[in-house]
Structure 1
Amino acid sequence: MNRFSYARATSVADAVHLHSVTPHAQFLAGGTNLVDLMREDVLRPTAIIDITRLPLRDIEPTSQGGLRIGALASNSALAWDARVRERYPLITQAILAGASAQIRNAATVGGNLLQRTRCLYFYDPATCCNKRAPGTGCAALNGVNRMHAIFGASEQCIATHPSDLCVALEALDASVLIAGRNGSRTLPFDALHRLPGNTPHRETVLEEAELITAVEVPAEGYGQHATYLKLRDRQSYAFALVSVALGLRVEDGQIAALGCALGGVAHKPWRDRTAEAMLLGREASDTRAHEQFADAVVAHAAPRPGNAFKVELARRAIVRAFERALSGSPTASTQHDVREE
């Protein structure tokens, strides 16, 4: 691990200032991803700016009826919050599907949004990786790419985003609050992460020294009909091959609103709003409509030989997610999952 300086920020403005005057600095929150990357010599920051003492842990209602989630709230605190479990079961289910209880206790919401890909080539400095070392090539293109992207990839990078929580937040139409040298701004969640294109090392639209301070979810949380379905090689401590976050609002037996996002398949949580529009006004129980929706989503897939199986896996996962979301109470399911932990 390389040598670095350390400073503890006393306020959001102080954190932004410290980062802006220190080249190659990194913010430290839970450290569950940053420390791993430093150990593996993937990241070599010259300075660490500790933001753990900043007042960004609160989960509180917004004036529009949603929730504002502080960026330093732990994943465990968010998953266990009574309002989240009742109104936003997608969030609770997604968090409990990821990592271990110990990691969830340390990991923060802001850090979850910014975690780096788990591509094995990215983590191996001896291999070519445009994300780690721009211009060196992408070893995954013709290498072991079973876990890699089938949507939105480029010839420069086919890595996937690893987060479970981000998939749920995408389906919920969340927004991200950001502080920087030029003041504060708010982004739709879908605008935070970038597709790789020719600059896969730029994973988000955050500018230098910008800091995520909170995430807001709207009043619509799909509390009655929602599910997070994660398909992986083993039941625990594994990243998704394909995951589906699905929330539905059903009125008079018809789909009045929905959000459906996929994980494990792209450089960012993947959502097809054009396909979603096809379902509005359709009978919620129409399984043929669910299949047509799934077919429309996977029609745009561009897999590699090693991950072509993900196309059919994603299609079936979407159909299964509709069945689960419409079958019962997501709150009861979430409580069962928590007890098993």
Structure 2
Amino acid sequence: MTVQYFRDLVTVTLPDNANASRTSRYRPNEVITLQWNNPASRIAYSRTDGTLRIWKLNNCELVNLPPVVIDDCHAKQVESISWNPASETDLATVGNDEKVKIWNTQRGALIKEMDVGVNGNILVQYSGDAKYIVSISKQNVINIIDSKSYNIVETIKIEKNVYSVTWNNNSSFLFFGLSDGSILLYKFANDKLNHLHTLKGHRSIIKSLKFEARGNRLVAGSNEGSVTIWSMDTMAVTSIYAEIDEPVAQVDISRDGTYLSITYEDGEPAKIFEISSHNEFHKLPKCIAGASTYPNLWFCPIKTLFAYSTSDGEVLLTMKGSGQGGRSRDR
């Protein structure tokens, strides 16, 4: 694919009247976190008004149906969401309280509510094989939950603040991004976490971690404005992106490992790079930080397309096309 491929993509804005159903103390009603499910048949995101919204898709394109809207999922805003990789509809959420909740997004119904014994949970993620869920609190308490029994099988506390987390693809390893720029690698076996190694390549907060779908590389984005790509064979940095002197908000890597996306905290537009050449292939002027949230940009899991949020609370999907009704180019 070429730079022209990205230029020729068109965008569809989800017809989400974000301010119609509720009153938010934030204006505009911004997007906190956004995720595709594995088959790209649904996309979910949370807003600053406390709602969770789920749209049905067909082959990565919007279906002409209203979204499922779940009000007041948690006592506070939904901070983190994670789709069950083995289910089209099941979604885990945390909302800065003591609960981890599992939702059926087709019906907008609560499946399970788990009290993990600590308040302030801000991160949640299913393992790649869907067997476990990890939750992380502001107190740096890590809970591993069996996704079938919903029992907590392991709990540890990390001394330094944890800002990001990712599993490898078969739930045998967990990576934690810390406030001092280090990345802790833990082995998970027989329901126990054991610290194996510490990756050191940054000097400030690791805000985002992403494990490549093919299982060969780990991507880390930090507050110092740099992004590193780590080889899982050598546990060494193979590439560094440090052209923008602005804290990184979020990183992602495309399904085939060809492209890297980076969003920023302080007003710089999101960018997409070709990893092999290190060249910038695309820039999204509207994908910038809002008044109270950071921008989201996530690649589609089955095609080289992506979804992103804007500073004024819009969510946009990209698709191939020729600018038909309701579509616009994002320049």
TM > 0.5 fold call: no
Which structure has the greater CA radius of gyration?
1
Instruction: Return the TM-score normalized by structure 2.
Output: 0.24
Which one scores higher on RCO, CA 8 angstroms, separation ≥ 6? 1
Report the structure, 1 or 2, having the larger strand content: 2
